[in-house]
Amino acid sequence: MDWSNILERVYALLTVYGIKVVGAIAIFVVGRWVAKAVTRLMERLMVKRKVDGTLVSFVSHLSYVALLAFIIIAALNQLGIQTASFIAVLGAAGLAVGLALQGSLSNFAAGVLMIIFRPFRVGDYIEGAGTAGTVEAIQIFTTQLKSPDNKTIIIPNSKISGDNIVNYSTKGTRRVDLVFGIGYSDDIDKARQLIMDLVLQDPRILKDPEPQVVVSELADSSVNLTFRGWSSLDDFWGVYFDLIEKVKKTFDANEITIPFPQRDVHLYEHNED
């Protein structure tokens, strides 16, 4: 056996491929370090902008995997391995997965946008997607609400972001609108003053903006007085229900009638000869 010939061939192979192997290893090691550095930078930027922790973790891991895949392809290419077909296979697989998960990807994209732009936050009371409740969790694919009667409502993010969103919690205060009907023979000024006295006695009703009681409609069987006043979010329903009860009792005590629809029926007697 000609060992010298064999050694020459091994040396030639090492000379040709050794540099490529070292280059591929260098690309992988340095690239992995760069990927981790970029990922950490992204995490810090998202945390600084107060992005949701779930999104920070998901996006950072997804970014790291994508960068690592690019680095591995670059390292294989350095070794002389043809990666064009490999990239084509990955692209086809990604397209198939994307089509299969079209609805989930739509929910994911909507969740990312909601977490970034924050049309509502955890704890807000909102209306959206045909339902209403207090936001308990904003997740990557779904949003979880708690209804006023303590039911858990889970809504796909694409559905809630594609609909009108009414957020009752962003302003801190809310206007209470109530309509009270009185009879046409009743004294409007007296009824208005009775309502205003109740309003001024309730510390939960804010003085600024100033509360109002106005004649809003001459209805079929009543003169409608509309109350408009502001309260904090926590006091809204208490003011709403208490004022209705107090106005009813006050009207009864002061002989102010609250009319209701009535129908007169006239009977005619017809005698047949």
Q: Is residue 63 part of a domain?
A: yes
Most confident listed range (56-60, 104-108, 181-185): 181-185
Indicate which CATH number applies to the domain containing 212.
Answer: 3.30.70.100
**Where residue 180 falls among pLDDT bands split at 50, 70, 90?**
very high
The answer to whether residues 63 and 21 belong to one domain is yes
Q: Give the total number of structural domains in the chain.
A: 3
Is 265 part of any domain?
no
Shared domain check, 52 and 8: yes
Q: What is the CATH number of the domain that holds 126?
A: 2.30.30.60
End position of a domain, from candidates 100, 132, 147: 100
Q: Where are the alpha helices (DSSP H) in 170-213?
A: 188-201
Nearest-CA neighbor of 19 among 82, 81, 78? 78
- Which residue range(s) make up the domain with 137? 119-167
% of the chain exceeding 70 in pLDDT: 78
Q: Please give the pLDDT value at position 138.
A: 81
The number of beta carbons lying within 10 Å of the beta carbon of residue 43 is: 16
Residue 188 lies in a domain: yes
In a domain, 141, yes or no: yes
7 plus 96 within the same structural domain: yes
For the beta carbon of residue 117, count every other beta carbon within 10 angstroms.
8
In a domain, 270, yes or no: no
How far is residue 59's CA from residue 226's CA, in Å, rounded to a whole number? 51
Q: Which residue has the higher pLDDT, 250 or 48?
A: 250
**Structure pTM?**
0.62
For the beta carbon of residue 176, count every other beta carbon within 10 angstroms: 21
**Bigger pLDDT: 102 or 219?**
219
3-state helix, strand, coil in the chain (%, to 5): 50, 20, 30
Query: Is 37 in the same domain as 67?
Result: yes
Same domain, 79 and 149: no
SS3 state of residue 260: coil
Asked if residue 177 lies in contact with residue 185, where contact means CB atoms within 8 angstroms, the answer is no
Residue 66's nearest CA partner among 18, 31, 26, 17 is 31
DSSP-assigned letter for residue 90: H
